[in-house]
Each structure stands twice: as C-alpha cells, then as structure tokens.
Amino acid sequence: MRSKWFVFAAIVILIPGCGGGSESVVGRAVFTVVWPERLRLIPVASNSIKVKINRGGTEVAETVIPRPAGASTASVTFENLPVSELSVTATSHPGSDGSGIAQARGTAPLTIQPNQTTDFTVTMESTIRSVEIVPPAGPIRPGDVVQLGLTVRDVDGNLVLVSPASTEWTSANHAVATVDANGVVTAGTNGSALLSVMEFESQRGDFITVTVEGGRLIAYEWFNYPLGSNVAGQNGGTGWAGAWFQIGGTLSVIDSGLFFQRLQARNNSARTASAAPVTHVCTLGENLGAAGTTRYFSILLRPLDPMSPGTDFGFGFGGVHIGKAGSHASYLIVGGGGAAVSGIEAVPNATAFLIVRSTFTAGADRIELWVNPTPGQPLPVTPNAVKQDVDLGIFSDINLTANIRCHFDEIRIGETYGDVSPIVQIF
C-alpha cells in the first residue's frame, strides 16, 4: 500500500542569482534542478523541465533541462539578464526536448540586482485539474474483459497523459468485477460494483458504478430427490427434457450433497454404487453447439475409491469426456483421439469444482477446463487445459460416467460463467 498522498508533486529548482563585482545593468542566474528518483513526488512521466524568464509580458530567456539518468542534478546558466523584477515559469514535460503537454507548472518572482545573489525555490504544482473515468461503451456480461478509459485534463482543458504508476484503481466488489493497474475490468457475477481511480500527483480521482448483468441458466440439476432412491428415472431440476436413465453397472443412488467454498449448493447428490462401469444420460430441453455460441458447464465431483491407471469418472457431452480417464492421474479433457491434461491431480474423497467453457465454431470447437477456480472471483484468464481439435456438432445429451464409486452434484449449464458459478452472499 502507498503511504500518504501529496497534493503537490515536488520538483525542487534552486535558483541562485549572482551579479558581477561592480555595478552592472545586467546579471546572471544559475538554475540547478534536483532530480529525485521517479517517485510520486515528481510526475513520473516527466523527462524535461522547461524554464522561461519573463519581464512583464516579454520573454527574455528560455531553456530546456533534460532529465539526467537516475537521481541527479543538472544546471543551466542564464547570462545577461536585465537588472529588474523578473518572473520564472518552470514546466515539466514528457519529452526530453520539452515537448508534450505540461504535467506540472510552477512560477516565482526573480529579482536580478547587481552585486547580489538571490536564492529561492520553485515548487511544481501538478497542472491536473480533472480526472474522469470513461465508462464502458455497452453492457458488461459475466466473464467479459473491458478496458476503461481515463481522461485527464489540465486547467486549460488540455489532455494530460499520466503513467499507470501514478494511478491506482480499486473495486469495492471483487465478486462482481475486478480492475487491474491499467484499468482493465474483468466481470464476475451479476451485480453492481463501485470502481474508482486515484491519480496521486494531483490527488484527484473519479469513480463509476458498473453493472454486470445478462446470461441465462440453461439447465440445473441439484439432485433434490429422496435419500437412497435410484438416480434412474428422476426428472427434477430445471431445463431438462426427460428423466435420467442408466446404462450398465449397479443402480446409482441419491446420497448427501457436495459443497465447495462459497458455491451455492443444495440438498443431495448422485452416487455411483460400485466399481462396475456405469453411465447416466439426461437430455436437455434445447440443443447446444451452434456455431458462434459459447456455453459454460460446471459440476462438483467427489471420487470415493482409490485411483488406478484404469480409473474413469466424469461428465461428457458431444463426444468429449471431462474428468479422469485412463493412465492420467490429473483432470483432463478427452476426445478426438487425444487428451488435454490439466496437471491437477484427482484425489480420492476430495471434492473438485470443474468449469468447462465451450466455444462453438463451424469447424473444430474450443473446449477449456478450469479445475477448482474460486467461486465469486472472475474466471482466471488461463485455463488448466485446452482442447481444440474436436467438432462437437449439435448435441443435447449430458452424461455422467464412472467405474468407481463417485459423487456427482450441482450440474449447471449457462451462457456465462456467472450463470454456472453463483455464490452464497456474505454480508
């Protein structure tokens, strides 16, 4: 965290004026600029100081002092200045040649007298007078990544460029939206979040409220059926066109439910009952897989038995299997003759929260897997496994498979990550 904020960006300019040894109608001034490290005490993007000396409304001298490397000092001498009451204006600029909008400005009187030296300090006050966040151009949906704009202006309405190092962005509701040091927003769940920015050199800032909304929960199964009853034949949940049916194995039963961190979870779960291979299939109320669409899938899994090279459990759709399979110890995506492995091992008696995002195209689709992302936080940018060599086609069946005892729970299918990862609100 930063310490106290400073209203002024302090750039110290020491100006000793020295006259000659006898009466003269001219004098001289030596300007020594002390350059500290690039901290918030000086505009971090400033690479030069432009010094102007005026007599009344007439400029009598001007020079540019470029920033030296690192913390250092630089001097410039003005010769043949008139013996008079003068004024000094010093401005800092992003270009080493004094170019660009002034980011800080300071003025002070300068008295040139013969045979006398005048010492004084000019403190550069930031010219920034307004900081304004440019809101998103359109609605934000869960999972969206949006770049916010930042408009900074000086007293004359000119745009001032500021470095990200001199700003700090914050979000008051990380579950809804986070914002990074560059003003990039990642949307999480539906809701509102107050986003703010502070520009430290001017101690000016702004805030906006962003609303994340949209998406649709296509189907949800939380196995709200009597404990001990068979899974086959159950047709509750939402968004399904029929009942679960079972292929092979001993009949699976309804057991106690699974939970994972703050993920909303209810009631019971489905549990396979033996090591005999079993598959459960249920049909959705709508088809998935149309080119140009993206769908999210989530599930809680809890394997109960020891693993072996032949252990297989998970869920699938459109010809891919997500879970554990074959000799791999990690959660993976299998389909199209190959596997994309997450590197996160499946552990007996440990509940896993799997998120799958399928982006459907006219050819091979992109299937991404996240293992145990944090509910209530934006989905990480990088998935744990990616497979993009399978065309899933149009499908509507979801299947659960296992050849060990395994719990399946909280199956959600939706249009956004927020749809399939709702959280329990904590106030």
pLDDT tens column, 343-367: 999 999 999 999 999 999 999 999 9
When mean pLDDT is compared across 59-63, 243-247, 385-389, the lowest value belongs to 59-63
Residue 413 near residue 315 (C-beta atoms within 8 A): no
Locate tokens 């000799």: which residue?
327
Q: What is the DSSP letter of 233?
A: T
Instruction: Please provide the DSSP assignment of 122-154 as one string.
Output: EEPEE-EEEEEEE--SS-B-TT-EEEPEEEEEE
Arithmetic mean of pLDDT, 255-277 = 93
Put simply, whether the predicted model's pTM sits higher than 0.85 gets the answer no
CA gap 168, 207 in Å, rounded: 12
Mean pLDDT over the full length of the chain? 85
Residue-level pLDDT at 41: 43
pLDDT tens column, 305-333? 999 999 999 999 999 999 999 899 999 99
pLDDT digits (tens, 9 = 90+) for 242-252: 999 999 999 99
List, in order of start, the domains of the chain with CATH numbers: 12-126 (2.60.40.2550), 128-212 (2.60.40.1080), 217-420 (2.60.120)
Contact 12, 51 (CB under 8 A): no
Average pLDDT over residues 294-308: 96
Q: Show the tokens assigned to 422.
A: 């709702």
